[in-house]
Structures are given as C-alpha cells and as structure tokens.
Structure 1
C-alpha cells in the first residue's frame, strides 16, 4: 500500500508520520507541496505550521499545487487523513465541514490527552470499540473546532463525529473550547478524516502509548 505525505514549508511531523506507516508495512513517500500529481492509495496531510500559519492556519497552504491533486484524489474516492495542521487544511479546502479557531484560553496546548471513540463505523477507527478511551498527544494553538448548529446536527445525523476529548474514565472534557468537545470528524462518505490529536506520535509503547497505531492501522490494507 502506498502512502503519500505532503510536505509544506513549516510542516514538522512528516518524518514521524512516515515512520508510523512504515511500521505498518506501507510504502511511504514524502511529497513536496509543489508537486501537482499524486499516485497513491492514501494521502496524509501531517501536522506542523504550514507557511508559519500566517493569515490563519492553512490559509496559504490550500493554494499549493499539491492541494489541487489532493482535491482530485478526493473526487476519485481516495482516502485522505489530515492530522492537526492537516485537519485545518481539510477544513480550508472544504473537504470537511467547519472551521478552526484559536484555543479558547489563547494558549498553545501540548500534552497527552484522552479521547473517546464516538463512532467506529469507518476504516480509520474500525480497530477500536465505540466509547473506547485512547491516549493520544495533542499540540496546537488553534484547535478550537467550530461549526454552526445545523451543520453540527448533520455531522451527528450522518455519523461523522468520530472522536471527543475526555478524561481517563471517558467523561468529556475540553482542552481548547472545541464545540461539543469534538476532536475528530470525517466526510459523509467516510473516506476523508481529520483530527487535531497526533496518532503518529503514539505508535510505540516506549513513547508512552501505542494507541495511535490502532487508529492508523485501520487505514492500511
């Protein structure tokens, strides 16, 4: 299986992401953002600060040639995973619904955080049980996910809310102000996934948890 990881100026998680998918036996390729053609099974938009997050997160990255290829990949029904800054890119492109704002307390947050699986009716979380609690690092200054009430209702109606922030016992808590404590969503076809936490940083127990590997493994065939 081929995994293409798109690299932008300011991206800083491409090697971690490549390492995680290599552990899963994938053929990985890091692609510079100026490439306008992508031949792959899965596109991953990794975390970081593309173009320094000037204007707003991912506002400039969406105009890169590679992003046109990402949109074409989506039109063909290809799988896409956006992690942190990559999630923000998917929102900017309109491939996922909603927008991202500054954290409610205006501080950058970086720590391990528990997440509750809300829906596993998709490839990404197929290896996890509904309501299962996992421990995944978060690191962001603009992770305050927002959407209006009608769109939020449609996300729930279509089983698109995937992950919520919680404590170790599964009680919902909120580190950034995100609406309804949402940490990750998908598109209606369940082929495009976005989340603020970093599963690629939780792929080996020596690092504290390998819960992220359970997530990424679902996208490998």
Structure 2
C-alpha cells in the first residue's frame, strides 16, 4: 500500500517544521512532504500540518502575514473540502488569522515568552485528532510562545462550548482547571479548539515535542496517531 502523504507547511521563520516532520515520519505508512509558503501545490497531501515558529518574523501580529501566503489559499480551500488541518502554536495563530478558526490570540498575560512543560487535558475525545485519548486524561506537553492568550467575544466562547469545540484545557497534574494552572491567561483555560466541521484543530502546546519518551513525554504522539488512522 502506498504511503499516506502528509504536508508540513514551511513559512519563512518556521522553526518546528523538521521536528514535526520527524514525528510524522515515525509512523509506518506515513510520508511527510514540505509545502513551501510560496507554492500552490499541496502535493496530494491527505492532511496538512502548520508547525510552530515565527512565520514572517511575526511582524504586525503572529500569523497575520502568513495568512496571505499562496500556500494558505490552498490550505483554506482544502479545509473547506474536508481535508484535516492541524495548526500547532504559530500554526494555530495562522489558522485564526485565516478565519479557519474563531477567536484570536494576544500576548501572554504576564507579557513574557513562556517555554516550559505544561499540563493539558482533552475535554472532547470525539474529534479525529483526539480519539485515542481518554476524556480528562492529564497530558504533559510543552509550550513555547509569547502570544498564546486565547480570547473571543462572549458569544463566540458560548458557541464553542455549545458545540463541543473546546478540545484541550490547561490544568494541573491532577486535572484541576484553575486560574493558577493557566499559563497565558486564555479564556476558559483554552489550549486548543476545533472548527464546527471537526477537521481543523489549533492548539498552542507542541505535540511534536512530546512524541517519544526520549523527549520526556510521548503524550503528544496519540494526537498524530488519532489523525493518521482517519486518513
């Protein structure tokens, strides 16, 4: 059987593209390909990953210039056709700027760049990205961002809650969700959300940095595995 092709978008300033490709390539039957920001060719990808980094130097706002790149035109159209799209950290920022997800991200509550291990828990395990997790299971997955403070109008947050679009929340080691366990100030401790159709997920934590025990945690591996089993 031919390999399943998974595209990893590369913007000027991406710095987690090779990490993400390494995680993808560790799965049998999955072939990662790099999708250059200036291209219109998705190379037959059955899923698309937007990695972390500082696309276009994060000038103006994180992800605000990347949304206008040629490849994102193709990603938006592909998402509309149901192709799965996963945005990690800067990739989440790009998804929000592109309108594929609702809401926005601002500077962290303490205005400092955060690079540390954090605990999150899946609160919706019915998505194609989370089917191999247990509801409210505590995961150790690192974060590395300066603009991860998710916010949205109250009516948007209410809609996300109503349609189970909040997928991950920040918590402590026991799964308790409090303001103290919220590293960046995100409303409702939101760490990741999915679109209404269920094929676009954005999150600030880095699952590719928690994809094998050698890295200290493999809690992020099942996110990729959940997705690849759907392809």
**C-alpha separation in 1, matches of 2:161 and 2:126:** 12
- Matched residue, 2:32: 28
**C-alpha separation in 2, matches of 1:146 and 1:48:** 21
Gaps of 5+ in 2: none
Gaps of 5+ in 1: none
Aligned residues: 221
**Deviant stretches of 4+, over 3 Å:** none
- Matched residue, 1:60: 65
Compute the TM-score of the two structures, normalised by the length of structure 1.
0.99
- Matched residue, 2:131: 126
- Matched position secondary structure for 1:218: helix
Please report how far the alpha carbon of residue 7 of structure 1 lies from its aligned counterpart in structure 2 after TM superposition.
0.3
- Matched residue, 1:213: 221
Alignment of 1:33-48 (within 5 A): 33-38=37-42, 39-48=44-53
Q: 1:17 aligns with which of 10, 16, 20?
A: 20
- Matched residue, 1:4: 7
RMSD of aligned Cα (Å): 0.7
**C-alpha separation in 1, matches of 2:189 and 2:220:** 19
- Matched residue, 1:188: 196
Q: Deviations over 1:150-189 (max 9, x none)?
A: 1101101111000000110011121001001000000001
Compute the TM-score of the two structures, normalised by the length of structure 2.
0.94
Q: 1:201 aligns with which of 205, 209, 227?
A: 209
- Matched residue, 2:145: 140
- Matched position secondary structure for 2:160: helix
- Matched residue, 1:102: 107
**C-alpha separation in 2, matches of 1:207 and 1:85:** 21
